[in-house]
Amino acid sequence: MLIVNPAFGRGTGGGEQRARNAIDWRNDPIALFSNSKPNARELLEGVRANLAAFRRTDNIDYVSKDSVSQPAPAAILEHVANNYRAALMAIAD
């Protein structure tokens, strides 16, 4: 899974390999990943509701770690990496 900070973007290049691995934001499965801070679920549910104007949402799932004070267990990270093409993260209050 490629992790990208959209505030900084990505450089161009990569040619055919990059095109083959590009995310199809209208169809690919997306994980809405919460760090379990207050209001994270509400924020992500709002994102999902707004995405409905552009794409189907039956393959956009909410995923969260158990505790705000602990890192996400490896099993959750593996689940996201194996089942979704992208993850949108809520990491602030």
Domain membership flag for residue 26: no
pLDDT per position as a tens digit, 25-75: 889 999 999 988 888 889 899 999 999 999 999 999 999 988 888 888 999
For residue 11, being part of any structural domain is answered with no
Q: What is the DSSP string of the chain?
A: -----TTT---S--HHHHHHH---TTTS-EEEEE---TTHHHHHHHHHHHHTTTS--TTEEEEE-S-TTSPPPHHHHHHHHHH-SEEEEE---
In a domain, 9, yes or no: no
Domain assignment present for residue 85? The answer is yes
The count of domains in the chain is: 1
Q: Give me the domain span that covers residue 50.
A: 33-90
Model pTM score: 0.73
